[in-house]
Structure 1
Amino acid sequence: MNYFSSDFKLGILGGGQLGKMMLYETRKWDVWTKVLDASPEAPCNISCNQFVQGDLLDYDTVYDFGQGLDVLTIEIENVNLDALERLEKEGLKVFPQPRALRIIQNKAKQKLFYVDHEIPTAEFQRFAYLSEIEDSVQNGGLKLPFVWKAAQFGYDGQGVKVVRTLSDLEGLPKGECIAETMIPFKNELAVIVARNNSGDIKTYPVVEMEFHPEANQVEYVICPARIDDKVAAKARELALKVAEKIGLTGLLAVEMFQTQDDQILVNEVAPRPHNSGHYSIEASYTNQFEQHIRCILDLPLGATESKVAGIMVNLVGGEGYTGDVVYENMEEILKLEGVTPHIYGKKQTRPFRKMGHVTIVDENMTRARHVAQEVKEKIKVISK
């Protein structure tokens, strides 16, 4: 099939920043795109060929959106899977496949999948209702502290909380959840695996993630991770095993813990381009968004090696600021060598909302890390 400057039509469910960066690549290749998102101000609205406003979880909306497309993909996994399964049965190519999304969309099912396929992960218990957790603690079945995770609809640090006392459960969603043993890890790592529909598969280098202690969001992504080569090889091997067992077409971001004795445990996965791969836009031979397009169109996979060391700094809304966004000191960070800001196009900021990211590239990792710290200290995401 001819994808370039042709009648081929690609649909994307979700119009956020991941979709926007995916559209950089489709525009580069002149691939026609149609995007569905609930917000008329979604970042994708300005750069796709056709924008449709609608609910990603509504069956009829998603089913109707798929009509007339050749391939349908996602930039967020919280979508109506019943509609995707019907579209797939009717002949539409849907990547990642709905069967894979069924596993990943629900964190409890995801964890059970790891157990069933002997993929190392933190011990956990599954609960149908939040109230069952308190009963389990009081009866000795569950020990504090632990990590609470909502089974569905978590994102950007939402739906995850460290529970040290029973009072920490107050105000959490009442539905299905898991309680996970806290892992005393050395590092949080991630590997992005790319797989096209022919089954060709590649991994990106292992990255290291540094998290904000309160927001549970990534502050820095460092590539390559500052770990021993043997540990990196173990992490890539495990990521490949997860991807092969799930068997999806597209990108799979595998987040992992490196334990104190250098074991690797899978934390969770995302079936799409991921925050841990943003560094690749400037630092890699093939960035993750182009690679995703290559995967779902069954094109040859691009080289995943890095050209230089890369560090990504997330730009999130400052605490205490809500309203029309202002990026303070942007000119100051643009004076720094190797710095590239990416602004997502969200007009309204609020505390810890992802508003953009900055990539720092350098041949010297230590120097890049110092510049990243300077960027983090200088730029502020505030409101008018």
Structure 2
Amino acid sequence: MNYFSSDFKLGILGGGQLGKMLLTETRKFDIQTYVLDPSDEAPCKIGCNQFFKGDLMDYDTVYNFGKQVDVLTFEIEHVNVTALEKLEAEGIQVYPSPKTLNLIQNKGTQKDFYAHHKIPTADYRRFETLAELIRAVEEKHIIMPFVWKSTEGGYDGMGVKVVRNAETLESLPDVQCIAEAMVPFKNELAVIVARNPSGEIKTYPVVEMEFHPEANQVEYVICPARIDHVVSEKARAIALKVSEHFDHVGLLAVEMFQTIDDEILVNEVAPRPHNSGHYSIEASYTSQFEQHLRAILDLPLGNTDSKAAGIMVNLVGEEGYSGNVVYENIDKIMKLDGVTPHIYGKKQTRPFRKMGHVTIVNKDIEQARRIAEEVKNTIRVIA
């Protein structure tokens, strides 16, 4: 199939920042793009050939959108899988497949998948209701503290909470959930695996993630991770095992814990471009967004090596500010060597909302980390 400067149409479900950055690569190759998103102000709207407003969870909306394109992908997992299954049955190429998405959408099903395939992960139990969870705690089947996760609908730290006392436990929403054992860990790591339909597979270097303690969001992504080579190779091997069992096409971001004993436990995965790969736009020979495009179109995968050390700093709305966004001190951070800001195009800010990111590249990882800290302390996302 001729994808370039032709009648070929790529459909993207979701019009957020991940889709916007993917569109940059489609523009480079002159590939037609259709985007579906529920918001008239979706960041993707300015960069695609055709924009459609609609509910990503509505069967008819997703099905009718998908019938207009040749290949369909997504930048968010919260989409109608039944519609994707119907489209795939009728000959539309859907990557990653509905089968893969079905295994990942529900965090309980995802954890069961790891257990079934003997993929190391933290101990957990599933619960259908809050009452079941409370009873399990009262009967000492679950010991506090533990990590509570909603099985569906979580994103950017939402739907995850550390439960340390009865007050927090009783304030949780009454939804299907998992209770996960607290893992004593040194680092939170991630590996992005790329795979095309022909079976070519490549992994990006292991990255290290530093989280905001309150919002449970990534503040910094550091590549390469500052870990021992043996641990790094173990993480990449486990990520490849996860990828093999999911049998996905496209990107699969595998988030992991490095325990105190240097074991690797899989936390969760995302079958799409991921926050942990944003550094690759400036720091890698092939960005994660170009790689996703190469993978779903069954093109040769690109070089995943880094040109230099890369650090990504998330730009999120400051606490106490909601309304029309104002970015303070961008001019100051742009005076720093190796700094590139990415603004997502969201007009409204609110506390901890992802509004952009900044990439820092440098030959010296420690110098890059120092500059990243300066960026974090300088720029402000307010209203």
Specify if TM > 0.5. Answer: yes
- How far off its partner does 1:171 sit? 4.0
Q: Cα distance, 1:170 vs. partner?
A: 4.0
1:97-152 deviations in Å (ceiling 9; x for gaps): 00000000000000000000000000000000122111111011110000000001
Tell me which residue corresponds to 1:245.
Answer: 245
The aligned counterpart of 2:127 is: 127
Structure 1 position 255, deviation (Å) = 0.1
Query: Given residue 64 of structure 1, which amino acid in structure 2 is its aligned partner?
Result: N
Partner of 1:97: 97
CA displacement, residues 207-243 of structure 1 (integer Å, 9 cap, x when unaligned): 0000000000000000000000000000000000000
Residue number in structure 2 paired with 1:108: 108
Aligned length: 383
Match of 2:372 in 1: 372
Is the counterpart of residue 140 in structure 1 residue 140 in structure 2? yes
Tell me, in whole angstroms, the C-alpha distance in 2 between the residues paired with 1:167 and 1:57.
34
Amino-acid identity (%): 71
Q: Which runs of 4+ in 1 moved over 3 A?
A: none
> d(CA) in 2 for partners of 1:284 and 1:358?
15
Q: What is the alpha-carbon distance in structure 2 between the residues aligned to residue 312 and residue 342 of structure 1?
A: 10
CA contact (8 A) 2:103 2:110 kept: yes
Structure 2 partner of 1:192: 192
1:169 Cα offset (Å): 2.7
The CA distance in 2 between the partners of 1:309 and 1:283, in whole Å, is: 7
Shift of 1:172: 2.9
Equivalences for residues 252-271 of structure 1 within 5 A: 252-271=252-271
Shift of 1:173: 2.5
SS of 2:325's equivalent?
strand
Distance in 2 (alpha carbons) for counterparts of 1:311 and 1:374:
12
Letter matched to residue 317 of structure 2: G
Q: Matches of 2:69 and 2:289 in 1, distance apart? A: 20
Show CA shifts across 1:131-189 (max 9, x none): 21111110111100000000011000000000001211344331110000010100000
TM-score normalised over the length of structure 1 = 0.99
Residue matched to 2:5: 5
Counterpart in 1 of 2:33? 33
Q: Find the aligned partners of 1:284 and 1:217 in 2 and give their Cα distance.
A: 23
CA-atom RMSD in angstroms: 0.6
Q: Which amino acid aligns with 2:258?
A: Q
Within 5 Å, which residues of 2 pair with 1:160-175? 160-175=160-175
Distance in structure 1 (CA, Å) of the matches to 2:153 and 2:289: 23
Whether the 8 Å CA contact 2:134–2:170 is kept in 1: the answer is no
Residue 152 of structure 1 corresponds to: 152
Q: Distance in 2 between matches of 1:241 and 1:114?
A: 10
- C-alpha offsets along residues 269-319 of structure 1, whole Å, 9 cap, x if unaligned? 000000000000000000000000000000000000000000000000000
Q: Secondary structure at the match of 1:119?
A: coil
Deviation track 1:231-276 (CA, whole Å, cap 9, x = no partner) reads: 0000000000000000010000000000001000000000000000
Residue aligning to 1:43: 43
